[in-house]
């Protein structure tokens, strides 16, 4: 595509004043910087750069057209459109506005909260731009049979000036009869929500906290009958010698060479074959053989059999030593298992010793767990509200982290002002809840947070028992939204509030809370809670221990500290009462240490029972194999001795035959010598 031709006004030299008079009609700072960067200053004049790319020339021409449009004080086009708009609004309001606006508003609420919304009784006054709604309700996405909130009547005042510029600005929105968590007659989930639920289920969940429930551990310390030994062993698994020893046993059983049986069978076959061959060889009686050559051949035949018997003996010995080595390892592991039980029993008993420091830490963890459960509902409402605001902003400005559309000027009329597509400037609501009245006020909820430069602000008050005041801000103009929250509560009243570990607690008090962070990655929060006149009606063993200690306390003060960074979070609760309470509990519970140790040792013994049985079976199998290998070795040794004895008999027979042959030769020589002497003597006498 050919680059757009630039107007002559941009090609001629510009004075600084002329350039400034152009850029002041651009609203967005990035557009003003880009427009100025397209010119270079030479001798006090600004000249158009010659190295502009086609894209830059296109954008520069578009900005120049918008500058010309913004210079006009009055334009005939908008005036004509205004007249047509007034007529269309009148007809639209009389016949179609109610049903269409009801459905549009329902659709917008469904997109924001991800659940069904119902709007009834909508009436629009076209000239005052006042909107009234008889009733509105939005279902809870996580609990479809309940409403997230409902209200009615609702009054809305729109800004007519903003409508002329294509912006929907709500000056005031007032909610009456506000209620939360009311029941529904029909499920409120959306049909298209199933895929989202599946995607949410498939998404990785945050890692769960390791270790058992702190309440169960504290219950175990305060009441041995409630000790969850399984949870305790699971928590301390990495430090237990029993676990490591069991793994070694499993490795020994799993890696045990099953070739022992095959090797023994193979050696047994060789021994039987060799035995038959040796019997065949030794069947011949050497004394009955008179041929030395035959005897020498038998000796030669015995030599390879002897070597084979020696080799069989060595192989059987090596196999026997390997089997004995595994037997030694199995018996050593058995001793290791029994020693590990003693070590781990002492370690865990020491860990659960009811000392003051351990009990104070557990009291803090249990209190933190209770507070986290109490805050879960309110945090869920806060998260849904923030997600609704983010949905509204991201649909218009793009999700954080994605490439945003290049900023451009907006064709508006002087004075230049870019308006957000949607802007709820002020929302007020009130409702009567059980025990008191709820009032809330929200300002500056918008689809374009970067244009209004003020964060969303929420103020909430609850008049009744207790009295609660809260104020929060949410800045959506950044890629990572930031927020702050402060909360004050007085007149908190607990009446027989049930806590399964201890009993029913009654007290009055106050609370203060501060929080800030970036959504959803970080959160730093802190606060305090003060309870006056705590009284505990015990229902269990731990409660009967704690209740008398609380009776003498006038107040119970708690300090809460919470930090969250991505998927890691920590909640810490401290109180001066924890230390003194823990020390008194420790003295009362010291006698229960032996009972805890006994139960732990029994569980450890049960844990190694299967390993000991496996080791016993493996040892029995190996003992049988060892006896077989020793029998093979003895058989090979017997054959070797038989062959050696037979060889010596053959060699002795050969020696005797040689001796006899030598003696016969000597007699023949003597006889021949005698005959020769006689012949010689006769010859001499005849002469």
State pLDDT tens for residues 245-278. 777 777 777 765 667 777 888 888 888 888 888 7
H/E element, 299: helix 292-351
HSE-up (13 A, CA, CB side) for residue 135: 6
Shared domain check, 180 and 97 = yes
**Most confident among 57-66, 191-200, 307-316 (mean pLDDT):** 57-66
Same domain, 22 and 105: no
Q: What is the pLDDT of residue 667?
A: 67
pLDDT at 171: 80
Radius of gyration of the chain (CA): 50
Give the model's pLDDT for residue 441. Answer: 83
Answer yes or no: do 152 and 117 share one domain: yes
Q: Are residues 66 and 170 in the same domain?
A: no
Q: How many CA atoms lie within 13 A of 44 on its CB side?
A: 1
> CB–CB of 593/354 below 8 Å?
yes
The full DSSP string for 204-227 is PPPPPPPSS-HHHHHHHHH-GGG-
Mean pLDDT of 396-401: 44
- Of all residues in the chain, the percent with pLDDT exceeding 70 is 73
Can you tell me the distance from the alpha carbon of 572 to that of 559, in angstroms, rounded to the nearest whole number?
A: 8
Query: Which of 44-58, 397-411, 645-659 is the most confident on average?
Result: 44-58
Q: Are residues 85 and 182 in the same domain?
A: yes
How far apart, in whole angstroms, are the C-alpha atoms of residue 420 and residue 413?
15
Least confident of 84-88, 290-294, 554-558: 84-88
In this structure, is residue 659 part of a structural domain?
no
pLDDT band at residue 590 under the 50/70/90 scheme: low
Q: Does residue 133 belong to any structural domain of this protein?
A: yes
Q: Which residues pair with 517 in a beta bridge?
A: 483
Averaged pLDDT, 84-98? 63
With respect to residue 52, please indicate whether it lies within any of the assigned structural domains: yes
CA distance 38 to 59: 10
pLDDT at 404 over 50: no
Q: Is the pLDDT of residue 482 over 60?
A: yes
Assess whether pLDDT exceeds 50 at residue 398: no
List pLDDT tens digits, range 114-166: 889 999 888 877 667 788 889 999 998 888 889 888 988 888 887 777 666 66
Q: Which stretch, 51-65, 215-229, 245-259, 476-490, has highest mean pLDDT?
A: 51-65
Residue among 239, 345, 302 nearest 650 (CA): 302
- How far is the first Cα of the chain from the last one, in angstroms, to the nearest whole number? 154
* Domain contains 251: no
User: Residues 39, 56: one domain?
Assistant: yes
pLDDT score at 137:
92
- Mean per-residue pLDDT over the chain, rounded: 74
Structural domain total, the chain: 2
Q: How confident is the model at residue 462 (pLDDT cuts 50, 70, 90)?
A: confident
Residues 127 and 175 in one domain: yes
User: Of 128, 127, 124, which is closest to residue 86 (Cα–Cα)?
Assistant: 127
pTM to 2 decimal places: 0.49
Residue 60 and residue 143 in one domain: no
Reply yes or no on whether the pLDDT at 524 is more than 70.
Answer: yes
Q: Does residue 86 lie within any of the structural domains?
A: yes
> How confident is the model over 537-557, as a mean pLDDT?
73
Do residues 84 and 181 both lie within one domain?
yes
Q: What is the dihedral of CA 181, 184, 187, 190, to 10 degrees?
A: -60
* Nearest C-alpha neighbor of 344 from the set 497, 449, 239: 239
Spatial neighbors of 356 by CB under 8 A, at least 6 apart, are 579, 582, 583, 585, 586
Least confident span in 29-33, 140-144, 335-339: 335-339
Do 136 and 161 fall within a single domain? Answer: yes
Contact present, 354 and 590 (Cβ < 8 Å): yes
**Which structural domain range is residue 129 located in?**
78-190
The residue among 160, 190, 220 that closes a domain is 190
Average pLDDT over residues 520-540: 80
In this structure, are residues 108 and 149 in contact, taking their beta carbons and an 8 Å threshold?
Answer: no
In a domain, 503, yes or no: no
Choose one of 154, 169, 190: the last residue of a domain.
190
pLDDT tens column, 318-332: 888 887 888 788 788
Whether residue 358 is contained in a domain is answered as no
Among candidate residues 157, 190, 223, the one where a domain is terminated? 190
Q: Are residues 163 and 87 in the same domain?
A: yes
User: What does residue 486 show for φ and ψ, rounded to 5 degrees?
Assistant: -130, 145
Contact predicate 169/419, CB 8 Å: yes
Region 381-390 average pLDDT: 72
Residues 14, 105, single domain; the answer is no
Q: Is the pLDDT of residue 183 over 80?
A: yes
The set of residues, in sequence order, having a beta carbon less than 8 Å from that of 136 and lying 6+ positions away, is 105, 109, 117, 118, 119, 120, 150, 151, 152, 154
Q: Is residue 159 part of a domain?
A: yes
User: What value does the mean pLDDT take over residues 275-294?
Assistant: 76
């Amino acid at each position: 595509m050919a680059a757009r031709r630039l107007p002559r006004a941009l090609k001629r030299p510009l004075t600084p004043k002329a350039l400034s008079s152009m850029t002041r009609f651009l609203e967005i700072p990035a557009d003003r910087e880009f427009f100025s960067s397209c010119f270079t200053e030479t001798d006090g004049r600004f000249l158009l750069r010659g190295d502009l790319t086609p894209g830059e020339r296109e954008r520069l021409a578009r900005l120049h057209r918008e500058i010309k449009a913004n210079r006009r004080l009055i334009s005939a086009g908008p005036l004509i459109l205004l007249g047509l708009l007034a007529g269309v609004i009148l007809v639209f309001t009389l016949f179609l506005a109610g049903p269409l606006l009801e459905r549009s508003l329902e659709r917008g609420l469904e997109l924001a909260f991800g659940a069904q919304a119902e709007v009834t009784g909508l009436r629009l006054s076209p000239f005052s731009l006042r909107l009234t709604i008889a009733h509105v309700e939005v279902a809870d996405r996580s609990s479809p049979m309940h409403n997230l909130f409902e209200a009615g009547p609702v009054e809305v005042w729109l800004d007519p000036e903003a409508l002329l510029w294509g912006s929907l600005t709500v000056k005031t929105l007032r909610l009456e009869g506000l209620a939360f968590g009311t029941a529904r007659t029909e499920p409120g989930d959306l049909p298209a929500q199933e895929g989202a639920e599946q995607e949410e289920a498939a998404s990785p969940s945050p890692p769960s906290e390791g270790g058992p429930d702190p309440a169960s551990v504290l219950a175990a310390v305060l009441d041995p009958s409630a000790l969850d030994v399984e949870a305790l062993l699971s928590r301390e698994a990495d430090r237990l010698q029993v676990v490591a020893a069991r793994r070694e046993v499993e490795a020994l059983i799993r890696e045990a060479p099953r070739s022992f049986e095959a090797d023994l069978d193979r050696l047994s076959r060789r021994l039987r074959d060799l035995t038959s061959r040796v019997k065949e060889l030794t069947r011949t009686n050497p004394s009955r053989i008179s041929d030395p050559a035959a005897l020498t051949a038998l000796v030669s035949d015995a030599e390879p059999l002897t070597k084979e018997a020696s080799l069989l003996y060595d192989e059987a010995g090596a196999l026997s030593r390997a089997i004995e080595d595994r037997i030694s390892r199995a018996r050593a592991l058995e001793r290791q298992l029994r020693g590990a039980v003693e070590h781990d029993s002492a370690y865990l008993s020491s860990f659960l010793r009811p000392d003051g420091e351990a009990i104070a830490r557990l009291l803090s963890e249990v209190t933190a767990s209770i507070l986290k459960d109490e805050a879960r509902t309110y945090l869920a409402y806060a998260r849904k509200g923030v997600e609704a605001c983010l949905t509204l902003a991201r649909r218009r400005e793009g999700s954080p982290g994605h490439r945003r559309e290049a900023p451009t000027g907006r064709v508006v009329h002087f004075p230049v002002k870019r308006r957000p597509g949607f802007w709820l400037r002020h929302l007020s609501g009130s409702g009567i809840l059980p025990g008191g009245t709820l009032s809330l006020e929200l300002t500056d909820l918008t689809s374009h947070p970067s244009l209004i430069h003020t964060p969303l602000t929420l103020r909430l008050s609850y008049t009744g028992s207790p009295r609660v005041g809260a104020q929060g801000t949410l800045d959506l103009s950044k890629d990572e939204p930031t927020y702050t929250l402060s909360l004050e509560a007085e007149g908190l009243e607990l009446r027989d509030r049930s806590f399964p570990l201890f009993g029913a607690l009654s007290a009055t008090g106050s609370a203060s809370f501060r929080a800030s962070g970036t959504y959803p990655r970080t959160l730093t929060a802190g606060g305090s809670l003060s309870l006056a006149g705590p009284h505990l009606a015990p229902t269990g063993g731990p409660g009967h221990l704690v209740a008398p200690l609380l009776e003498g306390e006038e107040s119970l003060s708690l300090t809460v500290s919470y930090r969250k960074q991505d998927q890691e979070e920590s909640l810490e609760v401290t109180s001066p009462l924890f230390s003194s309470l823990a020390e008194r509990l420790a003295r009362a519970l010291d006698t229960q240490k032996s009972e805890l140790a006994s139960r732990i040792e029994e569980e450890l013994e049960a844990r190694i029972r299967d390993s000991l049985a496996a080791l016993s079976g493996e040892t029995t199998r190996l003992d049988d194999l060892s006896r077989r290998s020793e029998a093979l070795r003895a058989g090979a040794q017997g054959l070797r001795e038989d062959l050696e004895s037979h060889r010596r008999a053959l060699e002795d027979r050969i020696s005797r035959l040689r001796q006899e042959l030598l003696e016969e030769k000597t007699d023949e020589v003597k006889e021949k010598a005698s005959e020769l002497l006689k012949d010689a003597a006769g010859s001499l006498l005849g002469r």
